[in-house]
């Protein structure tokens, strides 16, 4: 396709047309191409990875996540990871647009792909996990699984909060569904995620929280635990439930 055709097609489809990723990871399946999972990655026609729309205003999560943090986090940090990820892919020995396949062999692609690919994808999830209508507790099958694997929602909440708040240095807290169908809570350094072959705990991500200082320092300063506690007021459990049900098939 030449440039003129590309521009014409882009105009018809919209530059941010969502292309459902091909799911290669063993712990995911064909059902995962449905809505919630497909919305986690946006690509243009030429394969360039795009920042998905935030879906709410920078100030929509106030007072729990402040507008200035959102503006810099989405507009500068996440935009930077996205740009560097696309730049690194140009030179990578990887000829697929399947980000799940990329993560499952990320150890072979170098640190630029690992750090910026993780930075791109992990933030895509994080924005989706928050909503101005968020908070409360999960329902349905996810609520049952949380009770079965952690004892209760309260015990899960305490474990996730403590794990994220006490993670040493920059990184993310995670809830994931492992290959045996069990929910696990963990934290991973830098921009690693549970889809990566370098992760000691692997599975399908269902929830995360960014605990890099840039995610909370403007509003919470050194009080990371206060930020993690406030996160429960904005979690979009309907989205988390949809991911869980898609991962289950």
Rule CB under 5 A: which residues touch Mn ion? 77, 210, 212, 215
CA dihedral sign of residues 77, 112, 196, 52? positive
Q: Measured from the CB atom, is 32 or 164 closer to Mn ion?
A: 164
Q: Measured from the CB atom, is 164 or 215 closer to Mn ion?
A: 215
CB proximity list for 64: less than 8 A, separation 6 or greater: 230, 231, 233, 234
Q: Measured from the CB atom, is 130 or 215 closer to Mn ion?
A: 215
Q: Least CB distance from residue 77 to Mn ion, whole Å?
A: 5
Q: What is the C-alpha to C-alpha distance for residues 45 and 201, in angstroms, rounded to an integer?
A: 33
Q: Least CB distance from residue 73 to Mn ion, whole Å?
A: 6
- Count other C-beta atoms under 10 Å from residue 223's C-beta: 14
Nearest residue to the partner Mn ion, using Cβ? 210
What are the backbone angles phi and psi of residue 125, rounded to the nearest 5°? -65, -50
Q: Measured from the CB atom, is 76 or 141 closer to Mn ion?
A: 76
Q: Least CB distance from residue 108 to Mn ion, whole Å?
A: 25
Q: Measured from the CB atom, is 56 or 212 closer to Mn ion?
A: 212
Q: Least CB distance from residue 172 to Mn ion, whole Å?
A: 8
Q: Least CB distance from residue 178 to Mn ion, whole Å?
A: 25
Q: Measured from the CB atom, is 72 or 153 closer to Mn ion?
A: 72
Q: Least CB distance from residue 130 to Mn ion, whole Å?
A: 12
Q: Measured from the CB atom, is 50 or 211 closer to Mn ion?
A: 211
Q: Least CB distance from residue 80 to Mn ion, whole Å?
A: 10
β-bridge mates for residue 210, sequence order:
172
What are the backbone angles phi and psi of residue 170, rounded to the nearest 5°? -75, 145
CB proximity list for 177: less than 8 A, separation 6 or greater: 27, 183, 184, 203, 204, 206, 244, 247, 248
**The length of the chain, given as a count of residues:** 249
Half-sphere exposure of 116 (CA within 13 A, CB side): 20
Whose tokens are 């406030």? That residue is 230
CB proximity list for 137: less than 8 A, separation 6 or greater: 143, 153, 237
């Amino acid at each position: 396709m030449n440039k003129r055709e590309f521009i014409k097609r882009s105009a018809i489809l919209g530059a941010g047309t969502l292309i459902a990723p091909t799911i290669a990871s063993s712990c995911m399946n064909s059902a995962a191409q449905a809505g919630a999972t497909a919305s986690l990655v946006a690509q243009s026609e030429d394969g360039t990875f795009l920042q998905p729309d935030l879906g709410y205003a920078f100030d929509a999560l106030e007072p729990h996540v402040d507008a200035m943090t959102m503006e810099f986090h989405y507009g500068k940090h996440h935009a930077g990871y996205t740009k560097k990820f696309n730049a690194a892919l140009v030179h990578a020995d990887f000829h697929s647009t399947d980000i799940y396949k990329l993560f499952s062999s990320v150890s072979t692609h170098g640190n630029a792909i690992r750090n910026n690919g993780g930075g791109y994808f992990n933030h895509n999830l994080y924005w989706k996990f928050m909503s101005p209508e968020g908070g409360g507790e999960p329902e349905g099958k996810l609520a049952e699984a949380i009770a079965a694997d952690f004892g209760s929602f309260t015990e899960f909440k305490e474990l996730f909060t403590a794990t994220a708040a006490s993670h040493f240095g920059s990184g993310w807290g995670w809830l994931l569904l492992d290959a045996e169908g069990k929910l696990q809570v963990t934290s991973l350094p830098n921009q690693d995620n549970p889809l990566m072959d370098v992760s000691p705990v692997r599975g399908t991500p269902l929830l995360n929280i960014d605990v890099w200082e840039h995610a909370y320092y403007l509003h919470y300063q050194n009080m990371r635990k206060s930020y993690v506690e406030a996160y429960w007021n904005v979690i979009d459990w309907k989205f988390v439930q949809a991911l869980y049900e898609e991962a289950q098939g």
